[in-house]
């Protein structure tokens, strides 16, 4: 990790009144949550043990056809998230929000760790894995109420006690559209001319994740990528810090506070 890049980003952050953080699975890696794919990925092989890619297992069409298979992998993810705590990356982003005029987090993660760390201006674009509801009648229920302490998997998929429909988490599965409330939140952020946009631990493959980065570039606002590996959009950023999220943000925030 180049110290001159750290210092340059720290200087930009110190002068910024408004900051947008765009985060992906990499920001939670230091909480013990592996990414789906990439360094330390949970599903780096081409297929899961059920013979399908994880993106297919966690897709809307698969949930409709074989909800038990989708729930098998949702359970693995939920169980890992249940044990995880916010790491320094989540905590620093929340602290920056408390110090700056306007700081927002747009996260692809469903683990709830930004929320747990205290981030208030938060758009969880893919939902929250512990918020459950019946896909048939809409009956809502908490994950703790339905699934207990997560130590032993229940019969999957869980069934609604009201109508017999299949319970699912309020998350966006692959091949599903974003909820309108999320689309509205992203549209509202488009009206904010952020002084700095920082992508942390994301490959930014989704158009709605990449668009705020490109919008900042069109406005000549500085953009930063923090990721241990190069991504398809790495060359588009003004600054690139090749590092894990927690270590990079700790160094940046320390240098910012030393100014």
Q: Taking the chain, what is the end-to-end CA distance rounded to the nearest angstrom?
A: 20
User: Cis omega before residue 20 (within 30°)?
Assistant: no
Find out whether 117 and 32 touch, Cβ atoms under 8 Å.
no
Residues with Cβ within 8 Å of residue 190, at least 6 apart in sequence: 212, 215
Q: Tell me the Cα Rg of the chain.
A: 19
Catalytic choice (90, 114, 126, 184) = 126
d(C-alpha 22, C-alpha 27), whole Å: 10
Active site residue 184: no
Distance of CA 229 to the CA centre of its chain: 17
How many degrees, rounded to 5, is the angle at CA 87 between CA 81 and CA 89? 120
Is 174 strand, coil or helix?
strand
Q: Which residue has the tokens 């990925």?
A: 41
Name the nearest CA neighbour of 6 among 223, 231, 241. 241
Tell me the Ramachandran region of residue 148: left when phi exceeds 0, alpha when psi lies from -120 to 50, beta otherwise: left
d(C-alpha 48, C-alpha 42), whole Å: 10
Neighbours of 123 (CB within 10 A): 18
Find out whether 78 and 169 touch, Cβ atoms under 8 Å.
yes
- Residues noted as catalytic: 126
């Amino acid at each position: 990790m180049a110290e001159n890049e750290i210092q340059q980003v720290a200087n930009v952050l110190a002068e910024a009144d408004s900051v947008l953080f765009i985060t992906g699975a990499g920001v939670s890696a230091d909480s013990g949550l592996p990414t789906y794919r990439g360094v330390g990925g949970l599903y780096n092989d081409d297929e899961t043990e059920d013979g399908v890619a994880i993106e297919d297992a966690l897709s809307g069409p698969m949930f409709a056809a074989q909800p038990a298979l989708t729930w098998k992998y949702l359970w693995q993810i939920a169980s890992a998230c249940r044990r995880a705590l916010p790491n320094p990356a989540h905590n620093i982003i929340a602290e920056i929000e408390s110090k700056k005029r306007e700081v927002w987090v747009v996260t692809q993660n469903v683990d709830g760790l930004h929320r747990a760390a205290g981030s208030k201006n938060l758009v969880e674009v893919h939902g929250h894995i512990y918020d459950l509801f019946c896909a048939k009648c809409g009956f809502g229920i908490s994950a703790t109420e339905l699934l207990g302490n997560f130590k032993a998997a229940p019969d999957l998929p869980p069934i609604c006690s009201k109508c017999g429909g299949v319970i699912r988490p309020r998350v966006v599965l692959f091949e599903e559209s974003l909820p309108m409330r999320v689309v509205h939140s992203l549209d509202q952020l488009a009206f904010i001319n952020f002084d700095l946009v920082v992508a942390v631990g994301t490959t930014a493959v989704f158009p709605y994740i990449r668009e705020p980065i490109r919008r900042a570039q069109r406005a000549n606002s500085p953009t930063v990528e923090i990721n241990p590996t190069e991504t398809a959009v790495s060359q588009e950023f003004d600054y690139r810090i090749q590092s894990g999220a927690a270590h990079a943000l700790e160094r940046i925030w320390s240098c910012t506070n030393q100014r």
